Structure 1
Amino acid sequence: MSDALLTAYGAVLLDLDGTVYHGSRGIPGAAEVIGEIREHGTAVRFVTNNASKSPAEVAAHLSGLGIPTEPVEVATSAGAAARLLGERLEPGADVLVVGTESLADEVRAAGLRPVREAGPGVAAVVQGHSPHTAWPDLAEACVALRAGALWVASNVDATLPTERGQLPGNGSMVAVLRTATGLEPLVAGKPAAPLLLAAAEAGGTSGAVVVGDRLDTDIAGATAAGLDALVVLTGVATPASLLAAIPAERPRYLAADLGGLRREADELAIGPRPDWQVKADGGRLVVTGSGTDPVDLLRALCATAWETGHTTCTPGDTQARAALDELGLL
C-alpha cells in the first residue's frame, strides 16, 4: 500500500452509514480495508452526524461488525455541538436538550448543565436526533429560543438512512423550530466544518482525507473544512447526482467503495482518463473509448460536466454504451 491514496494523508475520516455499513450490515470489504489502513499506521476516525448514540455505542456497533474500534476513534455531531456550546457559554450554564441522553451526557462533559424544560436560566438549546422527540420537547425549545437562548443543532440532515429507507432526520425537526421562531441555529455537524476539523485534530493531523457517500454532508463538509474528499458509490451519491454536483459538493476523488483507498491518488482523481474520451457536443456529453471500468469513465464525465454544465450522456460506440448503461446514465 506504499503508493496508495492513504499514504498522502495523516488520517482518514470515515463517514459511517452508506460508507462503512448499512444499518446492521457491514458493507462488503470495508472491515478489511480499514484494517489495512491501520496496519499502514494511518489514523482512522469515524465521523457521524448521528447525535443519538454515544461514541462508546458507535464503537461497540463497529466492533460487532468486525471493525475493532475504541470510543476515542469516534467523532459525533453531539460531541461537536457540546464543544460549540462550551466555547460560547459560561461553565455550569443551563442547556435545554432536545435529543437523547447521549447528547445530554456530552453537554455535561462540556461542563454545562443539561435540562429538559425552558426557564429564565436557560442559556442555550441544543438539538440532536432522537426517535422520541415530540411536540412537548419542541415546545420547550421554542419558549427558550424566543426568550433569547443560543441555538445549536448537531446537524441539519433532512433524512436519516435506516433499514426501512430514508426517514425524518434531525434537520426535519430543526425545520419545525425554524418555522416557529424565524431563527437559524449554529450547526456543528456536516456540512459545517467543526465536526470534521475536530476529528482531524483528534487524528493528530490537519492533513486528512474525508471519505463519504453523501455530497450534501460529507463532501460539502470537507469543502467547508478545507479537506480533500473521496466519494464512494455505496450509499446516497449516484453517477447522475455527481454529474450535477454544485461546486461545494464536488469531491477530489471517486471510488466504487472503500477499496479505492488501496489505489493511487492519480487513479482516483476526477479528470480525463486515458481509456475514455468525453466531448461536449450540442449540450450533451459524447463518450467513446476502450475502457473496461465504468467508474473510471465517471471520473472523466464529472470533469467535463463540471466544466461545461452538460449532464446528458450519449454513447459514441458500443463500449461506451455498455459503460453508461452500467452507470445508469442512459
Structure 2
Amino acid sequence: MSDALLAAYDAVLFDLDGTVYHGTRVIPGAPETVRAAREHGTSVRFVTNNASKAPDEVVAHLTGLGMPSEPAEVHTSAQAGAVLLQERLEPGDEVLVVGTSSLADEVARAGLEPVRRHGDRVRAVVQGHSPDNTWAALAEACLAIRAGALWVACNVDATLPSERGLLPGNGSMVAALRTATDVVPLVAGKPEPLLFETAARSAGADRPLVVGDRLDTDIAGAVSAGIDSLVVLSGVATPKQLIEAIPAERGTYLARDLTALTEPADDLRIGPRPGWSVQVRDDVLVASGDGDDLDLLRALCHSAWETGITAIDGDAEARLGLS
C-alpha cells in the first residue's frame, strides 16, 4: 500500500455523480476503495456540483450504497452558492431560489430570506439543479435578473449522469436563462476552486487529490485550485476528450475508475509509458508497441499535450474505440 496512489496524498476529494455512483447504482469497488483510504489514514471528502441534496441526504445515499459518511465530509455547490451570496448581500436580503428546498435551507442558514417569486425586495437569484424546476420558476428568475438582481448559479454542468444515461443538468437550465437575460451568472461550484479549497481545509490537508470524471468541472476545478487529479472513465470523460483537453482541463493521473487509488501511483501517471512509443508523422500521432489500452491512452495524451497534435493513427483509434 505504501506505493499506492492514495498513500501519496493526505486527503482524497471525490466527485460523486459518475465517479462514486450513477444515481442509485454504485460504481463497482467504490465502497472498498473508500474504506481502504480511511484505513490508511487518508481523509475522505465528497465534493459535488449537485445542489439538489443537503449533506445529510448525501450521507444517507452514500451509507445506503455501502459508504458510511458524516455530513462534515460532504461539500456541495449549494453550500458554495450560499457562501457567495452571504459575501455579497446584507443579512435578511431576499434571494429568489430556483432549486430544491435543500438549496433554500442553505440560503436561510446564510442569514438570507429565500423566496420563490420575484418582488421589489429580491436582491439575488440562486439557481441549482432540481428535477422539479419548471418554466414558471425560470420565468420568476428571469424577471428578477432583468431587474438587476445578482445571479448565482450553483454549477453549470450541462448534463447529469444517471443510471439511465446522461440527463439535462443545471447548466442546461442556466443556458436558458442566459439566453433570456443576456446575463452571465457567478458560478459557485466546480470549475471554480472554492469547493475544493473548502473541502481541503476542512480535512486539514496539505496535499489533497481530486478524483473526478468531468474535465470541464472536476479536473478544471482541481487545476484552478492547484491540486493534483485522477481522471476516471466511469462517467462523462472520454478518450477523445482527454487527448484534446486544453491545459486548464488536464489531469495528473488516468484510470478506468476510482479503484485505481490502491494501485501504484507511477502506473497511473499520464506520460510516456513502458511498452508504447508515440511518434509524429504527417501531423498524426502514430503509436507502436503493445500493452494495456489505458497505458496507450496515457502515452497519447502526453504526446498530444506536448505537441498540440490530436489526430491519431487508425490502429490506435480502433484500439481505443474512437474509430
Instruction: Provide TM-score, normalisation by structure 1.
Output: 0.93
**Would you say 1:140 and 2:164 are equivalent positions?**
no
Do the aligned residues in 2 keep the contact of 1:97 with 1:127 (CA within 8 Å)? yes
TM-aligned CA deviation for residue 326 of structure 1: 4.1
Q: Partner of 1:199 in structure 2?
A: 199
- The equivalent of 1:160 in structure 2 is 160
Q: In structure 2, how many angstroms separate the alpha carbons of the residues matched to 1:253 and 1:10?
A: 16
- Flag as ranges the 4+ runs of structure 1 deviating above 6 A: none
Show the counterpart of 1:327. 320
Deviation per residue, 1:83-122 (Å, 9 max, x gap): 1111111122211111100000111111111111112221
3-state SS of paired residue (1:72): helix
Distance, in Å, in 1 between the alignment partners of 2:206 and 2:146 is 38
Deviations 1:138-192 (A, max 9, x none): 1211222122211110001111222332222111111122112111111011111
Number of aligned positions between the proteins: 323
Name the residue aligned to 1:75: 75
**Distance (Å, rounded) in 2 between the aligned partners of 1:295 and 1:284:** 19
Q: CA deviation at 1:216?
A: 1.1
1:57 maps to a residue whose letter is E
Q: Which amino acid aligns with 1:177?
A: L
- Corresponding residue number in structure 1 for 2:284: 284
CA contact (8 A) 1:294 1:324 kept: no
Partner AA of 2:121 in structure 1? G
Asked if 1:3 corresponds to 2:3, the answer is yes
Indicate whether 1:309 and 2:308 are aligned: yes
Distance in 2 of aligned mates of 1:240 and 1:138 = 34
For residues 159-238 of structure 1, the aligned pairs below 5 Å read 159-238=159-238
Counterpart mapping for 1:33-48 below 5 A = 33-48=33-48
- 2:313 partner SS: strand
Question: Shift of residue 25 of structure 1?
Answer: 1.0
Residue 111 of structure 1: aligned partner: 111
In 2: Cα distance, 1:172 partner to 1:313 partner: 32
**Match status 1:99 vs 2:92:** no
Within 2, Cα distance between the matches of 1:235 and 1:17? 8
| C-alpha separation in 1, matches of 2:21 and 2:137 | 31
Distance 1:108 1:179 in 2: 29
The answer as to whether partners of 2:17 and 2:160 remain within 8 angstroms in 1 is no
**Higher mean C-alpha deviation, range 261-270 or range 107-116:** 261-270
Change (3 A) 1:140 1:263: same
Give the Å deviation of 1:290. Answer: 3.6
Amino acid at match of 1:21: Y
TM-superposed CA distance for 1:263, in Å, is 2.3
Q: Secondary structure at the match of 1:12?
A: strand
The CA deviation at 1:202 is: 1.7
Q: Please say if residues 269 and 298 of structure 2, whose CA atoms lie closer than 8 Å, have aligned partners that are also in contact.
A: yes
Q: 1:313 aligns to what SS in structure 2?
A: coil
Identity of aligned pairs, percent? Answer: 67
Aligned twin of 1:261: 261
Distance 1:240 1:142 in 2: 36
For 1:308, the aligned partner's letter is T
Q: Describe the shift of the 1:140–1:10 C-alpha distance in structure 2 as closer, same or farther (beyond 3 A).
A: same
Task: State the partner residue of 1:318.
Answer: none
Aligned mates of 1:20, 1:327 — CA distance in 2: 23
Give the conservation status (yes or no) of the 8 Å contact 2:161–2:236.
no
Post-superposition offset of 1:312: 3.1
C-alpha distance in 1, partners of 2:146/2:241? 38
Find the counterpart in structure 1 of residue 294 from structure 2.
295
Q: Does the 8 A contact of 1:313 with 1:329 survive in 2? A: no
Give 1:329 shift. Answer: 3.7
Q: Distance in 2 between matches of 1:162 and 1:233?
A: 15
1:283 & 1:264 partners in 2: Cα distance?
A: 33
Shift of 1:206: 4.3
